[in-house]
Structure 1
């Protein structure tokens, strides 16, 4: 079934590109200066031989990975603590609900003013944006722990820490994995957005700025294509790992694929 979905997706993407090619070449007229998909894909292949672009991709991925790892460490820890301490969670829930809807891109100008180091500023913005799905999913996972399993362990004399390690954390792990997968896409968006707004010496966003200054729409779209491809690959890798590690959870919830 997975291969069938991939095939249908590939056919759909190819059909969309073919239609877009015809529209951009013959349907928009001479007054619209926009490259067709064939030109964009050609430039996307060429930039793979550009050391400046590859260095920019490496810088973006470095910021993305560091920000995501920090968000996982903070988000999971905070989610486990708040999930285990219900009174504390209820006390700070209003603050969380106030901060969570704030658009992450909107805090980039503030971060530029408050954090002088360019790399730290970008990583901090990534952490702020991507921590929320991890924290919320961890909290949700902690709430879904089977109370009977916890009580059974307590009846055998195990303390709160042992119950947390042996029951709560394994039960919440699939929810945490889903939060991390969602956060990975958000982190990539913020990694590029921070480069677009703050500039810098390297990065996919910096490459886009430089291409825009030269009115190179084809290079802008080529860089955008690779940003999307990186996000797609990251999501596929994390999803495959999630399915392999937590197949028992899919079976238990009736979500396993045939």
Structure 2
């Protein structure tokens, strides 16, 4: 099934690229000032030999990984705590529901004003954006724990911490993993977006800005292409880890992530 999905996805991408090439090459849209896919892919193939681009990739991925790790370290314990303590969750939930829908990109200008250190500002924006899916999925996972399993363990004399460690956390772990996978994509989007808005010394977004100032649309799109590749790779790796670690969960629910 997975191989069939990959095959269909590859065919769909190829059809899209060929259609775009034909539209641009044969002037079906005369006012469209956009490089053909072949030119974008050619520049994308050359970018791994570009030292400036590689430096930018290193900066972006470092900020991405650091922000995601901090978000995990903050959101998972917070989600477990709120999920285990219903009165606390009910008190905090209105604040969460107010802050969660705020577009993360919209806080970048505010972060620029409040945090003068460039790298710290970018990491902070990534943390803010990526912590929400982890926190919400952790909460859902804590709520999905089988109450009968918890009651059974309590009947054998286990305390709250033992029930949390033996039942609640293992049951919530697949939800946490899904939240982390979703957050990884969001974190990469914010890492590049912060560089596009705030600039800086290096980064994929900074490289795109420089290419745009030189009117190199092909380079802009090639760098954007690589950002998409990194996002796909992160999702594939995390999804493979989910399937391997939580095979029992997918078998129980019938899910096929």
Q: Is TM > 0.5 for Structure 1 vs Structure 2?
A: yes
Question: Residue 26 of structure 2 aligns with which residue?
Answer: 26
The number of residues matched between the two structures is 257
C-alpha separation between the residues in 1 aligned to 2:8 and 2:31?
35
Indicate if the aligned counterparts of 1:247 and 1:256 stay in contact, CA closer than 8 A: no
Indicate if the aligned counterparts of 2:195 and 2:206 stay in contact, CA closer than 8 A: yes
Q: CA RMSD in A?
A: 1.1
SS in 1 for 2:26: helix
Cα shift readout 1:45-100 (whole Å, capped 9, x = no counterpart): 11110011001001000000000001111110100000000000000110000000
State the shift of 1:127 in Å: 0.4
C-alpha separation between the residues in 2 aligned to 1:225 and 1:255?
30
Indicate if the aligned counterparts of 2:23 and 2:29 stay in contact, CA closer than 8 A: no
Q: How do residues 1-258 of structure 1 correspond to structure 2 at under 5 angstroms?
A: 1-28=1-28, 31-256=31-256
C-alpha separation between the residues in 1 aligned to 2:29 and 2:108?
39
C-alpha separation between the residues in 2 aligned to 1:86 and 1:33?
56
C-alpha separation between the residues in 1 aligned to 2:246 and 2:58?
31
Unaligned runs of 5+ in 1: none
C-alpha separation between the residues in 1 aligned to 2:127 and 2:171?
25
SS in 1 for 2:75: helix
Cα shift readout 1:104-157 (whole Å, capped 9, x = no counterpart): 011101101111111110000000001000000000000000111111111111
C-alpha separation between the residues in 1 aligned to 2:4 and 2:250?
20
Unaligned runs of 5+ in 2: none
**Length-normalised TM-score, structure 1:** 0.97
C-alpha separation between the residues in 2 aligned to 1:256 and 1:121?
37
State the shift of 1:31 in Å: 4.5
C-alpha separation between the residues in 1 aligned to 2:124 and 2:116?
12
SS in 2 for 1:27: coil
Indicate if the aligned counterparts of 2:39 and 2:218 stay in contact, CA closer than 8 A: yes
Indicate if the aligned counterparts of 1:126 and 1:190 stay in contact, CA closer than 8 A: yes
